[in-house]
Amino acid sequence: MTWGNRIRMTVGILVVLALVGVFTLIFTQRQAQVISTSAAIASQDFTVGTDYSGTVTATEVEVGDVVTKGDALFSLQSLALQKDLEDDIMVADTDAYTVADDGTMTFTATVDGIVSQLDVREGGFVGSGTAVATIERSGTLFVAADFTLTPRDYERIQDGAAVDVMLPNQVVVEGSVDLVTVETKDGAAAATVRVVSSQLTEGAYNGLVASGTPVEATMHLRDDGILAGPVDTVQDFLRQIGV
């Protein structure tokens, strides 16, 4: 074998080894992250309900309105409340409503936020124990992301793990794992992950950052080393064939 052939063979071997190393690294990196099956921006919701039935006498807000704590939402005239007051039954004001002597309850916002649901209209009847409005609290946006994981991948979720959130316009914002809940389905871990991010500001990115916006979340798992991915794959294969 000539020196030229030896050199070419050596270079070829080095190129092959380099390619194997690169592909192994890429494979391992992909094994260290999972993509959500579904994900959307959400917020803390506060429900407004009434313990008394009655007729709505006024509405002060509409869906989409921004409210601050203490703002009036709607008023309700209740004969049941009026009777309780006449019978000297104490019905005290709360952060959620005020009570007038004529049996009128005026409901108010308990937090700053946006009215996302309002199921009352002036002249309509509301039953007792009914949830009639929802307020999305300001400054509480997060991403709720669902993942289907193997038991091994579930074990590799870390508190505060990095999560890349892709908005519909392909912009990626950085977040982190805040809370994980899980249940087992068909031998896999169906995990719901709450992702928080300082970049989730209401109305940002031309209004895309809002409760209900669908997104894609990529969660980074604990990296167990450059050979962890290939080794896990081989072990799974051997387990499937009964070795």
Write out the DSSP string of 185-215: ETTEEEEEEEEE-TT--TTHHHHTSSTT-B-
The string of pLDDT tens digits covering residues 30-70 is 457 899 999 999 999 999 988 899 999 999 999 999 999 99
Q: What is the average per-residue pLDDT within 134-142?
A: 93
Whether residue 112 is predicted with pLDDT greater than 90 in this model: the reply is yes
Q: What is the pLDDT of residue 13?
A: 62
| CA distance linking residue 34 with residue 106, whole number of Å | 48
Model confidence at 195: pLDDT above 90? yes
What does the domain layout of the chain look like in residue ranges? 30-42+140-235, 52-128
Q: What is the CATH number of domain 30-42+140-235?
A: 2.40.30.170
Q: Which pLDDT does position 25 carry in this prediction?
A: 43
Structure confidence at residue 28 as a pLDDT band (50, 70, 90):
very low
The larger pLDDT score, comparing residue 195 to residue 234, is at 195
User: How confident is the model at residue 143, as a pLDDT?
Assistant: 97
Q: State percent of the chain over pLDDT 70.
A: 79
In terms of pLDDT, which residue wins out, 202 or 5? 202
Residue 75 amino acid letter:
S
- Secondary structure of residue 162 in the 3-state scheme: strand
How high does pLDDT run on average in the chain? 84
- Nearest by Cα to 60 from 124, 118, 100: 118
The yes-or-no verdict on residue 233 having pLDDT over 90 is: no
Q: What is the pLDDT of residue 8?
A: 62
Instruction: Give the per-residue pLDDT at 136.
Output: 93
- What is the reported pLDDT for 238? 44
**In the predicted model, is pLDDT for residue 27 greater than 70?**
no
Give residue-wise pLDDT tens across range 70-81: 999 999 999 999
| CATH number of the domain located at residue range(s) 52-128 in this protein | 2.40.50.100
SS3 for 175?
A: strand
